[in-house]
Amino acid sequence: MNGIGGYLTLLFLAANISFSFQTPNTVNPCCFFPCQHQGVCVRFELERYECDCTRTGYYGTNCTIPELWTRVLEYLRPSPGFYHYILTRYKWFWDLINATFIRDTIMRLVLKVRSNLIPSPPTYNSAYGYISWEAYSNVSYYTRILPPIADDCPTPMGTKGKIELPDANFIVETFLKRERFIPDPQGSNLMFAFFAQHFTHQFFKTYGRMGRGFTKGLGHGVDLSHIYGDTLERQHMLRLFKDGKMKYQIINGDMYPPTVVEAPVHMIYPDNVPKEKQYAVGQEVFGLLPGLMMYATLWLREHNRVCDILKKEHPTWSDEQLFQTTRLVLIGETIKIVIEDYVQHLSGYYLKLKFDPELLFGVQFQYRNRIAVEFNQLYHWHPLMPDSFQIVKENYNYSNFVYNTSILADYGVEALVESFSKQKAGKIGGGANIHPHLLKVAVGVIEESRKLRVQPFNEYRKRFNLKAYKSFQDFTGEETISKHLESIYGDIDALEFYPGLLLEKTLPKSIFGESMIEIGAPFSLKGLMGNPICSPEYWKPSTFGGETGFNIVKTASLKKLVCLNVKQCPFVSFHVPDPENGETQFSTIKIPDEL
């Protein structure tokens, strides 16, 4: 490009930025993020770059001029705010839609549009900010949606903002620390909060010892490694090697995970917890919270229950075939529960979401997934955690709840499920709702983001077809916090990714803001529907041991997961009881007298 020096000068003036130590001729032109609409910036000489606009639907120097068909689509396409408004209102209308074939049509469209926002095969990682074979093939890395900010940019966030970013501890203490608990207006509860944490720990496994942007999880999706372990050695230590089952112990007549004495896998517990009290499960960190071990216990019971069903149907099958087929059944159950219970609740939609892989048969779709570092950062939902944990009539603070190995067996799964189902979780978006005990986690996310040189929040808004915010007041919807943010960041285009997600103004009666939904949903749906069991080659009865196993998958629900694996079905839901629907706050199960 001729005249790039003058062009960069104009950009600097437009941004009202000046740097005494650099001239426009020495600035990497890609630091301006000039390429729009997913165009790729390629630097040539010091002063020259080109935007590759291939298959973006746009052309021009910076991929800003829409092609005719793109112009038509832009005109017709409603904004995310519009369709969120429609989907969360007019229940009578959606009740009619849910009873017709139109539901499948809409669900197919949702899956295609959301999933197409995630590149497959993957593009970048923390070592390579350009297309490379290594970025594709080395699954030890998290992938990335946007390449890292170049190392030679004039500011940490490209060209906008201040020369130094504000201290991460200051951001967390000032904007994210909880002063008073803010409940989620959608009614999410701790059953939901612990599900989110236990579910994501199978594919979010940051491995800092290897360097920046690495993961221990080689599966990059729903593989249930949090149940079975992420290595064959760990899996074998947890298996009974009889009838396909996992090892277990019986306490008070109920099934629980074995101890590390019986299944000698590495688990993370404090030194003062004896090995006889340490539960052994697939994910080494699950001893941290009773809510995580509660879910591990439910899935252990479900695995062994399904093994019994398949053993009865297939008496000639080996232990190995029973185990492997049961694992596929549980993967299917997990995806069904996540889409139809978990995501359904999270969305607040009146459209009834549906898990049906056949909706994508005949559509160009890749049945492979890679976990992105942006998805990992986005999913740090620690504002969900309350100030304390109410179990039956007892209140536990963090010091006597964390690593408390006696809570699960003393109360039993039923009591924990009902207690967690009835306690409100916190609101994620809007800021100022992370418990002081958890602030260090948020600090760690911000510091990691800076080491990985994650692009600014507004760049991700544009990448996911959202309008970039023009000001901090537009971003927060109020004046005081917006002025404070502007004073420390200097420019809305210098706002960091993770603080942006947590501080963005929330949608009406929603747990978080627009960006969390529009950026998070594509990652989630692509990861779920990209699972091999959703492919035409796998999605058939024989994969799951016949129609019986197939029906276990197709009829799975959160309530069935719990109630088929306990003696007395408690109140179980991802939302606190709704009296209008006849749900009660009173206990529905008998609590042991000694408690």
> ∠393-510-191 over CA atoms, to 5°?
30
Q: What CA–CA distances, in Å, run from 5 to 11, 42, 171, 261, 293?
A: 10, 17, 36, 68, 60
* Joined tokens for residue 233: 């050695």
* pLDDT mean over 527-543: 96
Q: Give me the pLDDT at residue 126, please.
A: 87
Q: Is the pLDDT of residue 298 over 90?
A: yes
**Is 379 a known active-site residue?**
yes
Closest to 442 (Cα-Cα) out of 511, 490, 383, 505? 383
Which residue is associated with the tokens 């949606």?
A: 145
Residue among 4, 421, 425 at smallest CA distance from 191: 421
Q: Give residue 466's Cα distance to chain centre.
A: 19
Least confident of 218-222, 241-245, 284-288, 542-546: 218-222
Query: Which tokens go with 424?
Result: 């409100």
pLDDT per residue as tens digits for the range 545-562: 999 999 999 999 999 999
**Higher-scoring residue by pLDDT: 338, 6:** 338
For the entire predicted model, the pTM comes to: 0.92
Show the beta-strand stretches assigned E in 310-454. 389-391, 394-396
Give 346-365 pLDDT, tens digit per residue.
999 999 999 999 999 988 88
Q: Taking 90 as the threshold, does the pLDDT of residue 232 lie above it?
A: yes
| Cβ atoms within 10 Å, residue 486 | 17
* Catalytic annotation, pick one of 201, 220, 303, 345: 201
* Residue 141, amino acid: Y
Is 269 an active-site residue? no
Active-site entry in 379, 411, 469, 498:
379
Question: Which DSSP symbol is given to 59?
Answer: E
In the prediction, which pLDDT does 81 show? 86
H-assigned helices in 208-355: 225-228, 232-238, 290-313, 319-337, 344-347
d(CA 123, CA 134): 10
